[in-house]
Amino acid sequence: MQMSIVVLIISILLFFVLFFGIGFILNMLLRMSWIMAIIYPIIAIFIVDKVRFIEYFTNSKVAFQELGQKLSSLATADILILLSGLAGAIAAGITIKMLRKNGYQMF
């Protein structure tokens, strides 16, 4: 199934804004500037893979093999969308760092 360029651009913007917002709020509340950038790869794995979380511990070999297959079969558009979410999470960390450096106290 082909994705149109308009849908791709909207998806990229949506993921960036979504994870920037979530990351910004988590950074404010937990006072850990890079928490969302650390958590994001786990969220991306849940988005891509259909294996239950517990299977990574009980049936590790099969679960990680299936994850590798899913990651290697991603389309370029899917990779761009997921990378934009990571960029949003990193941008939230940078923004919080800059705000704190400039004297803004959040919670």
Average pLDDT over residues 13-21: 96
Kindly report the pTM of this predicted structure: 0.85
Residues of the domain holding 97: 5-50+77-101
Q: Is 79 exposed, middle or buried (0-12, 13-18, 19+ CB in 10 A)?
A: exposed
Does 20 fall in a domain? yes
pLDDT in tens, 62-80: 999 999 999 999 999 999 9
What's the total number of domains in the chain? 1
Does 87 fall in a domain? yes
Does 18 fall in a domain? yes
Does 92 fall in a domain? yes
Does 69 fall in a domain? no
Closest CA to 40 of 69, 81, 10: 81
Enter the DSSP assignment of 38. H
Q: How confident is the model at residue 36 (pLDDT cuts 50, 70, 90)?
A: confident
Does 57 fall in a domain? no
The alpha carbon dihedral of 18, 22, 24, 25 has a sign of: positive
